Each structure stands twice: as C-alpha cells, then as structure tokens.
C-alpha cells in the first residue's frame, strides 16, 4: 500500500488511525500493519514518522491529551478571581467532557481509560508530563476549599475522591447505563453529573474545613442543609 497526500497528512492519518485502534485493542494487541491499513499508509510510514510503535503510542497519548485540553480547558473560561467552588465546578465539568464527550475523535476518552486500566510502560512518562500538572491544579482548588491549614494528605484524598467519581462514569459506563437507565451522556447529562459531583464533594469536604480568625472556610451546616436527603445526618 502506498501513501497518499503529503508527509504531514500521512502523519496525522497515522495518529488518528492508531488512536482508534489502540483504544479498541490496547497497545499490545494493536499491530503496525492494522494501523497502516486503516490510515491507508505504507507499513514503513510508522518508522519514518515516529521511529517505532512505542513512540507512535506516546505521540497518540500526547495528541489526545493536548486536543482534549484545547477543546475543554481546565478552567473552562473561569479565571483566578472566581470562588474555589466555581473553579471546582469548571474543573469537574471539563474533566467529564474530556472523558465522556463524543465527536470526531471519540476514541480519546476510551484510550485514556484503557491506559489506566491496562497500563503500558509509557504510563509513567505520560503521568509526569501530562496528568501531574492537571492534578496539581485540582490540588490547589481543594486546598483553597479546605483552608490554609489543611493537611496535605487530606487534600490528596479529596483530590482522589473527586477524580474517582469522574473516572467511574467513564470506566464503568457499560454497566452504569444498564443499572441506571435514566443516566445519559449527552451535554445536559454531563452537566448534571458535574453538578452532582461538585455538590457531593463540597458537602463531604465541609466536614474537614479549617477555621481561620473564627470564620469557617466552608460552612458544613449550610452545605448539608441545601443538600436533599439531609435528614440522613440525624
């Protein structure tokens, strides 16, 4: 099979074809031949443009990450003057949209989910370069919610809980849609999930708030009073 189009066009076709195949088959099962066939490229094209299957996979991960951030940036247009809750809402909504939204490159979320459940040797570098900066941003938001004296370990646990809630809707999607038929993954459904996760997380973090100068950073009673089912506290 011969290439069609210029070099950059071939490179992009390989990226998109590889992303789709890696997300469906996993890194180990995917073959260069399958990728090149889907990309309508010569089997030597992967070596020419990327050097190896491993480097192609790294390039696909990086591309998926950068493209998702361009479409759904972490702050979603919310600036630093916004409240911690507003910043958390923007962060969670953007994270869910990156994981769950469908579109031309709908394999992005599936690829990330597979990399987490079936980690490859490239996971470490990807975490350090791409995921860590985003987690640090969420850590800052959670710290602002809990207050200046918040224990770093507690901040980390809250960060993991928030991300875990979001990740659940991506990884367990086939099961959840069967257990909860009213669960939807369209834009309004994702917005609803984001609002729930933020409200649930804020209510939980209310019990860890710090006091500074006699004022609460987060009022637990207020958070729980506004939450349906608050009779469960009795």
CATH number at residue 41: 1.10.10.60
* Domain-located, residue 19: yes
Same domain, 82 and 42: no
Residue 177: CATH number of its domain: 1.10.357
Reduce the DSSP state of residue 211 to 3 states and report it. Answer: strand
Q: Structural domain of residue 44, as residue ranges? A: 7-51
Q: Which of 91, 103, 131 is nearest to 115 (CA)?
A: 131
Residue 212 bridge partners (DSSP)? 215
pTM, two decimal places = 0.78
Over residues 8-30, mean pLDDT: 93
Residue-wise pLDDT tens digits, 198-213: 999 999 999 886 444 4
Asked whether residue 200 is domain-assigned, the answer is: yes
User: Does 85 reside within a domain?
Assistant: yes
Which residue in the block uniquely carries the two structure tokens 């010569």? 42
Specify if 1 maps to a domain: no
pLDDT digits (tens, 9 = 90+) for 161-201: 999 999 999 889 999 999 999 999 999 999 999 999 999 99
Length of the chain, please?
234
Residues 109 and 218 in one domain: yes
Residues 45 and 76 in one domain: no
19 and 78 within one domain? no
Nearest C-alpha neighbor of 48 from the set 94, 1, 8, 99: 8
């Amino acid at each position: 099979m011969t290439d069609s189009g210029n070099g950059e066009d071939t490179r992009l076709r390989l990226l998109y074809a590889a992303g789709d195949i890696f997300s469906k088959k996993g890194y180990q099962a995917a073959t260069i031949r399958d990728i090149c066939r889907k990309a309508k490229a010569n089997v030597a094209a992967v070596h020419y443009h990327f050097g190896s299957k491993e480097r192609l996979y790294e390039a696909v991960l990086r591309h998926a990450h950068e493209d998702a951030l361009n479409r759904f940036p972490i702050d979603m247009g919310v600036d630093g003057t916004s409240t911690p809750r507003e910043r958390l809402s923007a962060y969670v909504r953007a994270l869910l949209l990156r994981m769950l939204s469908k579109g031309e490159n709908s394999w992005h979320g599936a690829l990330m989910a597979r990399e987490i459940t079936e980690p490859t040797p490239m996971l470490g570098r990807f975490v350090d370069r791409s995921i860590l900066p985003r987690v640090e941003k969420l850590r800052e938001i959670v710290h602002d919610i809990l207050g200046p004296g918040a224990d770093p370990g507690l901040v980390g646990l809250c960060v993991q809980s928030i991300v875990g809630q979001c990740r659940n809707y991506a990884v367990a999607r086939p099961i959840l849609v069967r257990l909860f038929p009213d669960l939807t993954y369209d834009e309004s459904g994702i917005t609803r999930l984001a609002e729930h996760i933020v409200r649930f997380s804020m209510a939980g973090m209310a019990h860890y708030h710090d006091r500074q100068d006699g004022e609460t950073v987060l009022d637990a009673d207020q958070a729980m009073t506004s939450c349906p089912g608050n009779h469960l506290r009795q």
